[in-house]
Amino acid sequence: MAFINYSKREIQLKIVYYGCALSGKTTNLVNLHQNVMSTQKGELVSLATEADRTLFFDFMSLNTQTLPGFNTRFQLYTVPGQPVYNATRQLVLKGVDGIVFVVDSHWDKMEDNVESFANLQENLIENHLSLAQIPYVLQYNKRDIENPAPLYYLEYCFNNRANKVLSFEASAKSGQGILETLNGVARLLLAKYSKSTGANKEQAPTTP
């Protein structure tokens, strides 16, 4: 849940990047960290093992002035993709404000993608939440590979709802689409919390 400090005029929003193992969650944060101005970002913290690039989580703090009169701190997390670390996924989701679900475009990863999306919904329930309550976007990553799963198929699998959500094609490795993805979920969050802060204007974070 967003933390709003009126005395310091600061709002903290937690965004979690979720997806199966090696889908590109960590790569998103690494590339964002490399391209955001040093005055806006905190240190990128990553705890990794040989079994998975992320054992516990990645974390990065991104500071922007997006709501008039408020300094906005986006706290970016990833979750471990390996199923054995499901308890850690549940823990990282506590207090989540927004979610980026990262889909691996390889055909042979579709089953893993679907299982991870179902797991996300199960773990939100464990935290007394649901996708209906949490602003989220979809990122179709690794679009630069040879013969990726077509966009219409990915939309059918992950965005086949009456109220479709924002989706973005990306290549986290090259940086394509990663800022657009962050902007997408940030705009949803700022629209949601602008009323709470009394602000009437929102602007997503941008890099120089």
pLDDT digits (tens, 9 = 90+) for 10-61: 888 999 999 999 999 989 998 988 887 666 767 777 766 556 655 444 556 6
3-197 fold: Rossmann fold (3.40.50)
pTM: 0.87
So where are the chain's domains?
Answer: 3-197
pLDDT above 90 covers a percentage of the chain that reads 55
CA dihedral over 136, 141, 143, 148, signed as positive or negative? negative
Q: What three-state secondary structure class fits 204? A: coil
Q: What is the pLDDT of residue 61?
A: 66
Q: Residues 95-116: what's their mean pLDDT?
A: 97
Q: What is the pLDDT of residue 60?
A: 61
pLDDT tier for residue 203 given thresholds of 50, 70 and 90 = low
pLDDT tier for residue 133 given thresholds of 50, 70 and 90 = very high
pLDDT at 141 over 90: yes
Instruction: Report how far apart, in Å, the C-alpha atoms of 135 and of each of 92, 165, 204 are.
Output: 16, 9, 14
Q: Residues 146-173: what's their mean pLDDT?
A: 96
Q: Residues 103-107: what's their mean pLDDT?
A: 98
Is residue 148 a contact partner of residue 105, using CB atoms and an 8 Å limit?
yes
